[in-house]
Amino acid sequence: MAISPAPTRSAIFNADYTNLGEYVTDDSRVPYFNPVDSDSMIEPGELVLIAWAGAEQVMLAQAAIFPGETGMLLRYFVVDLPCTLSADVIIGDILTWDYTDGELALDADVTNGYTAGIAIWNFDPVHQPAPALGVDSNDRAICGTTASTKVRIMGSPGVSTTKGTITGLPL
């Protein structure tokens, strides 16, 4: 921390000292440039594995990002995604994005993908009481079953585990 003598405060309108930094925004969004020579766009709501801070992390595209354009990736998100589940998913379970099939699945069922987020209950506080899919033997909410076509996950900023040939896109 810089040590500076305390300036005299302006008594009328403005302080007579400069700011060290200017607040821009919080840390929930990261700009991403889709290279001009990219052969595909990043779809709105797509999970994107990014090489970030020395590790690979999952973020969510806020909107479409076409080749040669810059868009925003969300570090913190809750999203409903397509899924194929081989067993019940309990609140708090970690789900994996199956890159080959383009859907969420249990980690054991994925050979080419990455951890996507944490299963949460599809709870709408506006329309209470919200129906649950049920509870397991420990009274924890079931967030998805083998009949589910979508499941809700909460992003988990941090290192994502990869399987198969997946590598994070460079920022």
**What H or E segment, with its residue span, contains residue 68?**
none
Q: Give me the tens of pLDDT residue by residue for the chain, a chain 171 residues long.
A: 567 787 776 666 666 667 778 888 888 999 999 999 998 999 999 999 999 888 899 999 999 999 999 999 999 999 999 999 999 999 999 999 999 999 999 999 999 999 999 999 887 777 666 566 788 899 888 999 999 999 999 998 888 899 999 888 887
Q: Same domain for 90 and 128?
A: yes
Amino acid identity for residue 33 in this structure: F
> What pLDDT score was predicted for residue 19?
72
Q: Can you give the pLDDT at residue 2?
A: 67
Alpha-carbon distance values, 156 to 20, 74, 96, 117, 151 (Å): 32, 11, 12, 5, 15
State residue 100's pLDDT score.
Answer: 93
Task: Tell whether 12 is covered by a domain.
Answer: no
Regarding whether 111 and 86 lie in a shared domain, the answer is: yes
Claim to verify: residue 81 and residue 155 sit in the same structural domain: yes
Same domain (yes/no): 57, 100: no
The pLDDT score that the predictor gives to residue 4 is: 78
Total domains, the chain: 2
18 falls within a domain: no
Q: Report if residue 15 sits inside a domain.
A: no
- Number of C-alpha atoms within 13 angstroms, CB side, residue 160? 31
pTM comes to: 0.81
Collapsing DSSP to helix, strand or coil, 109 comes out as: helix
**Which pLDDT score is estimated for 133?**
72
Asked whether 72 and 171 are in contact (CB, 8 A), the reply is: no
Q: Are 74 and 106 in contact (CB under 8 A)?
A: no
Query: What range defines the domain where residue 146 resides?
Result: 77-159
Residue 5 lies in a domain: no
17 in a domain, yes or no? no
Could you tell me the sign of the dihedral formed by the alpha carbons of 117, 120, 125, 130, in that order?
Answer: positive
pLDDT of residue 3: 77
pLDDT at 131: 61
Q: What is the pLDDT of residue 122?
A: 82
C-alpha–C-alpha distance, residues 28 and 139, integer Å: 33
Q: Omega before 129 cis (within 30°)? A: yes
